[in-house]
Structure 1
Amino acid sequence: MGNADLRSLATLRDVPFADLEGSVVAVDAHNWLYRYLTTTVKWTSDEKYTTGEGVEVANLIGVVQGLPKFFEHDITPVFVFDGGVTDLKSEEVADRREAREKAEERKQAAEERGDAIEAARLSAQTQRLTDTIQETTRDLLDILDVPWYDAPAEGEAQAAHQNAVGDADYVGSEDYDTLLFGAPRTLRGLTSKGDPELMDLDATLADLDLTREQLIDAAMLCGTDFNAGISGIGPKTALKEIRAHGDLWGVLEARDEHIEHAERVREFFRNPPVRDDYTDEYDLDIDPDVEAARAFVTEEWEVDAGEVERGFERIEESLVQTGLDRWT
């Protein structure tokens, strides 16, 4: 389901960071990291984050610039990384790969004509989370003692589960699909300036007068990352149809339509693959080794020190200013 579609259905409100102090946030790691990665690539010269051997690690700049927001507001992040990609998402993955390839072609054309601004914009669109980016991100989080673990499948589904069972106060993600995966409370805008936006599942269902299963059905009619929607159905029509016919099957029968793998997609949202042993893998008492992190980023991976120094300073300052006894 397109972000605009679910946004028009979700109940959202701004929440001040002051209200989030002391909370634990299960962060959709790929979603968070990708946003910082693309922003870094778009606005930073590539020599600032490229090693002498030509390996790009713009992610390290993104992580150092993004983590202080949690520390400064006494929020403990737990980063949840994607596991294996479900075959239901293969078409979406293929579409994204094709989009990256087209952006790469346009970027090369922009470079040839000397349009540096357009080339930078397109370079951000070609980014993917390489094995090196995945590994170095985890290594840096370890050095900074920031909790993380791997999900069996979708990271946002696992983060939603962690929130639902009470092991996290919120999910941190820009994706609206956390609603469909059953996350009670999602924070959006953690990578943006200003206060974040709270997306509340119970309030959404109450405002729409739907069950979670009916919300999933409405989303599937519009289209999700795991299925194509029905032509001509947007969020308003989807709600109308679900209310008129009760559920997805009633709508499909009434309209003589078909959604491929509908039962599997529906069940995937209702009961995605998750794990319950994740708390064995981390400790919420964070004690960052900032000097070791500096050396890892600037010496081992040759990132320009000027690009990350302010981020490290903010981390150090936050540990003093917030008086985080539980972190030290």
Structure 2
Amino acid sequence: MGVKLQEIIVRKRIEFQDLAGKIIAIDAPNIIMSLFSFARKNSDGSYGGLILDRTQRPISHLYNLLYRVNFFYSKKIFPIFVFDGKVSELKRVITKDQLKDFLFTKKWYEGAIKRGSRGLAREIALSKEYMWQNILEESKQLLGALGVPYIESPGSAESQCAYLVKRGIAQFSNSQDFDSLLFGCPHLVQNLSKSLRRKVHGKWRYEKIIPLVTNLQKSLKQLDISIFQLVDISLLIGSDYFPGIKGIGPKKALKFIKLHKQIENVIIEEKDKYDFNTLSEKIITQVRRIFLLPNINEANNQFFWNLPHKSKIFNLLCEEHHLNKERVSNNIDKLSSSYEKCRDYFIHKKEEAKSVQLTLDRIMFK
């Protein structure tokens, strides 16, 4: 879901050449979900369902993740993928109980494959208990085989992305959501795709997009609010941690926060017009703590990018998912070439400009 701030946050167009030589922290669950949503289109234009392998498991996330990494390298961008860890009880995503369900359904799926029960295997593979967690686990396997670093946050991926940017380890956070801003991320970049288009939610059509960047401090200054007040706005309009107050959108929330300074005062002054019964003091405190005092991994500050490991990629994509070996091999060759050009560009930048010395000293190649 994410917080809907696009109506009040100013974003500016950025060209891909302006991102060359940059390290970008990727909100992995958010981006992988957008890659996974790719599906077949029938000749008559109707929805053809998810792309599955012969064992009835989705594979679009694997092909598209391979393409996305190659795209980053081709634009001279080094990505760090960041995954969620233990998330807040307020956020409705994978929990410990769901993880146990995944382990159970994984064994169930493997049993169905051994018995040749194709229909049951398909049903299990597409169940919510199995599918999303399996997609994340396979994405990590593929990233490791591609030589791309990833990190698991002890909390949310967005908070870890924000930390990496604040520390200067990365220059941007990449997510289609705006939650990174609530975590204090200085620079958020969106719409990084080769096709520069995205599928319209709930419809079989696409819309054109352009890469956009948000500067948090400039946005706060323009809105004349603090980061604390931005978090209060998220409570009014809704985020992953609270559904918001019915009838209050971004512009109205901004107006109320600027007028009443903080959400407690909004509740007092506007209680006759809106129902604030679900917005308890406990929830306000919890959400503020999540965004303003996030749980992050401060230990891992060095990241390594390597050439793709061909045999590991073949094992996952060709042996495990039965994808075309020649097609996969051609894509690995393209990726290796893009990686080497990207690496050489970074090394040249390091020798050429002292202004990027601090960042580039953190880059490790093998």
- TM-score, length-normalised on structure 2? 0.72
Larger Rg: 2
Structure 2's unaligned 5+ residue stretches are 99-125, 197-209, 348-364
> Does the CA-based 8 Å contact 2:31-2:175 persist in structure 1?
yes
Aligned counterpart in structure 1 of residue 220 of structure 2, from 183, 201, 205: 205
Aligned to 1:104: none
Say if 2:244 is the partner of 1:229. Answer: yes
Aligned to 1:23: 22
1:137/1:70 CA distance change after superposition, 3 Å: same
1:54/1:216 CA distance change after superposition, 3 Å: same
Aligned to 1:12: 11
Offset of residue 130 of structure 1: 3.2
Residues in 2 aligned to 1:138 and 1:2: alpha-carbon distance in whole angstroms = 23
1:59/1:307 CA distance change after superposition, 3 Å: farther
Amino acid at match of 1:9: I
Shifted more, 40-49 versus 222-231: the winner is 40-49
Aligned counterpart in structure 2 of residue 89 of structure 1, from 88, 91, 96: 91
Amino acid at match of 2:53: T
Aligned to 1:215: 230
> Does the CA-based 8 Å contact 2:21-2:345 persist in structure 1?
no
Aligned to 1:169: 171
Any idea what SS the aligned residue of 1:227 has? coil
User: Does 1 or 2 have the higher relative contact order (CA < 8 Å, sep 6+)?
Assistant: 1
Any idea what SS the aligned residue of 1:278 has? coil
* Residues 71-125 of structure 1 deviation map (CA, whole Å, 9 limit, x = unaligned): 00111100001112311113x779xx9xxxxxxxxxxxxxxxxxxxxxxxxxx99
Residues in 2 aligned to 1:88 and 1:206: alpha-carbon distance in whole angstroms = 30
Trace 1:58-97 onto structure 2 (pairs within 5 A).
58-90=60-92
Any idea what SS the aligned residue of 2:287 has? helix
Amino acid at match of 2:231: I
Amino acid at match of 1:17: F
Amino acid at match of 2:139: T
Structure 1's unaligned 5+ residue stretches are 98-123
> Does the CA-based 8 Å contact 2:83-2:153 persist in structure 1?
yes
1:310/1:42 CA distance change after superposition, 3 Å: farther
Residues in 1 aligned to 2:56 and 2:127: alpha-carbon distance in whole angstroms = 19
Residues in 2 aligned to 1:298 and 1:80: alpha-carbon distance in whole angstroms = 26
> Does the CA-based 8 Å contact 1:32-1:191 persist in structure 2?
no
Say if 2:189 is the partner of 1:187. Answer: yes
Identity, % of aligned pairs? 27
Residues in 2 aligned to 1:127 and 1:35: alpha-carbon distance in whole angstroms = 19
Shifted more, 316-325 versus 161-170: the winner is 316-325
1:70/1:2 CA distance change after superposition, 3 Å: closer
Offset of residue 159 of structure 1: 0.8
- TM-score, length-normalised on structure 1? 0.79
Aligned counterpart in structure 1 of residue 152 of structure 2, from 147, 150, 153: 150
Residues in 2 aligned to 1:306 and 1:40: alpha-carbon distance in whole angstroms = 22
1:42/1:270 CA distance change after superposition, 3 Å: farther
1:249/1:48 CA distance change after superposition, 3 Å: closer
Amino acid at match of 2:154: P
1:10/1:240 CA distance change after superposition, 3 Å: same
Aligned to 1:314: 334
Offset of residue 131 of structure 1: 3.5
Residues in 2 aligned to 1:250 and 1:67: alpha-carbon distance in whole angstroms = 47
Offset of residue 133 of structure 1: 2.0
Aligned to 2:307: 287
1:249/1:243 CA distance change after superposition, 3 Å: same
Aligned to 1:37: 36
1:310/1:242 CA distance change after superposition, 3 Å: farther
Residues in 1 aligned to 2:165 and 2:151: alpha-carbon distance in whole angstroms = 15
Shifted more, 169-178 versus 260-269: the winner is 260-269
Aligned counterpart in structure 1 of residue 53 of structure 2, from 50, 55, 64: 50
Aligned counterpart in structure 1 of residue 299 of structure 2, from 252, 273, 277: 277
Aligned to 2:287: 265
* Residues 113-167 of structure 1 deviation map (CA, whole Å, 9 limit, x = unaligned): xxxxxxxxxxx99898534322221111111110001111211111111111221
> Does the CA-based 8 Å contact 1:36-1:191 persist in structure 2?
no
Please identify which structure carries the higher helix content.
1
Aligned to 1:252: 267
Aligned counterpart in structure 1 of residue 316 of structure 2, from 296, 320, 325: 296
